[in-house]
Amino acid sequence: MADAEDLEAVKARLKTWEGTTLKDSLKALPERRKEFVTTSSRSVRRLYTPLDVAGKSYSERLGNPGEFPFTRGIHPTMYRGRLWTMRMFSGYGSAEDTNKRFKYLIEHGETGLSVAFDMPTLYGYDTDAKEAKGEFGTCGVAVSSVEDMEILFNAIDVARVSTSMTINSPASVVWAMYLAMAEKRDVPWTKLRGTIQNDILKEYEAQKEWIFPPEPSMRLVVDTFEFGAKEVPQWNPISISGYHIREAGATAGQELAFTLANGMEYVRWGIDRGLRVDDFAPRLSFFFNAHNDLFEEIAKYRAARRIWAREMRDTFGAKNPRSWLLRTHAQTAGVSLTAQQPEMNIVRTTIQALAAVLGGTQSLHTNSYDEAYQVPGEKAVRIALRTQQILAHESGVANTVDPLGGSYYLEALTDELEEEAYRYFDRIQELGGVIPAIRKGFFQQEIANSAYRYQMEIEDKERIIVGVNDFVVDEQPEVEPLKVSEASYRAQLERLKRMRRTRDSKKHERALDRLRRACDGDDNTMPLILDAVRARATLGEICDVMREVFGVWEEPLLY
């Protein structure tokens, strides 16, 4: 970025500085520690200079925002044109409870919806299944049928608001419920905007909410790509997620590498199905974590865009520039929240949200300070949303595009993360690709190793967590409790029972039979799932059919 003559001068000046100014300083005041590292244990040097970005072309590495390789952002004007979508992940109890929470958030300025489902829903069980015991609504909303979906979005204009749904193994079923709900309200599918997470690969690697083995699961995912491209063109049928990989213990570099490796695996499966890459790639979306280490996080987002653009254009031959764009959602790091002095989590979340915004995210969820204890209370959620609003309207960071672009440190970090990702791509390839690597427990072991190392650093006080291993106070934290009501549970059970009793049982049975045949064959499952949902088949019933045909996954045990 600097010309050759300048670089020589910089080098000379640096050498002199090291021998004089720096040397004197170190003598008078030695540095606090021998090695400084990021949250991901990446070694950080004392100073970054033009030498660290020497020989790298601005146009090739960065380019202008809205242009290849999109390092500086996917839009030419970024937040000057439109702020990121403030999208708070929420759900607890029944569809009624969560519908109220959605309305509360919209009233307070939230600009997109994001649904958290409870554990039974995530595993394709109805509220009344024996496996669901004790899990109703505790960490998300229970949705067992299209009727629950209708209540969940009651009096919310789904033609206007975009909705993200964190659902993976049963994603196509839950999506079908959303589509059937819209259909009933006469909202054309072409108007619907939103995302289903539908990222099964990271479930095997990190989040562990899987049902079926990898191959049939991938088939279901590609079914949604194909169906979505034709029928619901503004919908993102997948959100390729690093978030959970990171939460499970991965470093920033591993999060970046594994997520993009997964992303490329989906592209390969889409192409193998016979889809044209430019027909589905523009609707692939991403989801990254925003952890504590400000610069490393910002660098991660920038590296992700650059790698994705290059791979899509050069490896997969995508011609449509929209296929090259890595559009992403971000969420602050739940794993960083402390149970000790929980108010401090507001500060952590602010730093993390700042990283996501400086990293150029398209939408953002901010965690609430009480989440080391429970699903957040109303006030805690409002503070979290306000944090985003302060960043957007008071901090000034949204005034210019990629304000940190050109920082020697940030650019060097961006390059380093990119190189690390490519080293991992090679290792995954050596293992035979993403799915064989999952079977061998490669990702799982890498993540567990990083999680353990991080914990040992805290244990040994090499890493200070304020309020946890230093600056400790002895006090009882104040958290406003949020309990799922017994009445919600009973109402949900009652609704399910009534629906099972009153639906057309012949139609229901026929729809499930047809779905079973489709699962057994090669037809796209989406239209059949939709028919089953319309016939009031429940989530559990549909997933049972799939469990029967596809079998269930058993993961390699390791720690």
Partner 1 sequence: MATKIRVLIAKPGLDGHDRGAKVIARALRDAGMEVIYTGLRQTPEDIVEAAIQEDVDAIGLSCLSGAHMALFPEVVKLLRKRKAGDIVVAGGGIIPEDDVPKLKKAGIKAVFGPGTPLSDVVEFFQKAGKAKGA
State the residues that interact with partner 1 by CB under 8 A: 119-120, 122-123, 125, 131-135, 138-139, 203, 207-209, 247-249, 335, 337-340, 371-375, 448, 451-452, 455-456, 459, 465, 467-469, 476-477, 479, 481, 484, 555, 557, 559
Q: Which tokens hold the place of 536? A: 């009031």
8 C-beta neighbours (distance < 10 Å), count: 11
Rounded least distance, CB 293 to partner 1, Å: 18
Place of tokens 């106070």: 473
Rounded least distance, CB 549 to partner 1, Å: 20
Nearer to partner 1 by Cβ, of 271 and 339: the residue is: 339
d(CA 325, CA 333) in angstroms, rounded, equals 24
Nearer to partner 1 by Cβ, of 77 and 445: the residue is: 445
Nearer to partner 1 by Cβ, of 267 and 484: the residue is: 484
Compute the half-sphere exposure of residue 457: CA atoms within 13 Å on the CB side of its CA. Answer: 17
d(CA 449, CA 455) in angstroms, rounded, equals 10
Q: Which tokens hold the place of 435? A: 């799915």
Compute the half-sphere exposure of residue 392: CA atoms within 13 Å on the CB side of its CA. Answer: 23
Rg (CA), the chain: 24
Rounded least distance, CB 486 to partner 1, Å: 12
Compute the half-sphere exposure of residue 329: CA atoms within 13 Å on the CB side of its CA. Answer: 31
Contact present, 137 and 483 (Cβ < 8 Å): no
Rounded least distance, CB 287 to partner 1, Å: 17
Nearer to partner 1 by Cβ, of 271 and 451: the residue is: 451
Nearer to partner 1 by Cβ, of 195 and 450: the residue is: 450
Rounded least distance, CB 151 to partner 1, Å: 21
d(CA 247, CA 105) in angstroms, rounded, equals 25
Nearer to partner 1 by Cβ, of 274 and 481: the residue is: 481
Nearer to partner 1 by Cβ, of 71 and 197: the residue is: 197
- Chain-centre distance for alpha carbon 33: 34
d(CA 520, CA 426) in angstroms, rounded, equals 35
| Residue 235 three-state SS | strand
d(CA 320, CA 478) in angstroms, rounded, equals 52
Contact present, 214 and 553 (Cβ < 8 Å): yes
Rounded least distance, CB 289 to partner 1, Å: 13
Nearer to partner 1 by Cβ, of 215 and 470: the residue is: 470
Nearer to partner 1 by Cβ, of 73 and 93: the residue is: 93
Rounded least distance, CB 453 to partner 1, Å: 10
Nearer to partner 1 by Cβ, of 135 and 418: the residue is: 135
Rounded least distance, CB 452 to partner 1, Å: 5
Sequence-distant (≥ 6) Cβ neighbours of residue 373 within 8 angstroms? 339, 342, 477, 479
Rounded least distance, CB 9 to partner 1, Å: 49
58 C-beta neighbours (distance < 10 Å), count: 14
Rounded least distance, CB 559 to partner 1, Å: 4
d(CA 281, CA 253) in angstroms, rounded, equals 24
Q: Which amino acid is at 435?
A: I
Rounded least distance, CB 81 to partner 1, Å: 38
d(CA 327, CA 285) in angstroms, rounded, equals 5
Sequence-distant (≥ 6) Cβ neighbours of residue 490 within 8 angstroms? none
**508 sits in which H/E element:** helix 505-520
Q: Which tokens hold the place of 462? A: 């090499």
Nearer to partner 1 by Cβ, of 71 and 254: the residue is: 254
Q: What burial letters (b/e) apply to 356-369, b meaning 16+ CB within 10 Å? A: bbbbbbbbbbbbbb
Nearer to partner 1 by Cβ, of 83 and 546: the residue is: 546
161 φ/ψ angles, rounded to the nearest 5 degrees: -90, 145
| Residue 385 three-state SS | helix
Rounded least distance, CB 132 to partner 1, Å: 8
Nearer to partner 1 by Cβ, of 209 and 402: the residue is: 209
Rounded least distance, CB 406 to partner 1, Å: 36
Closest by alpha carbon to 444, among 260, 254, 215? 254
d(CA 512, CA 498) in angstroms, rounded, equals 19
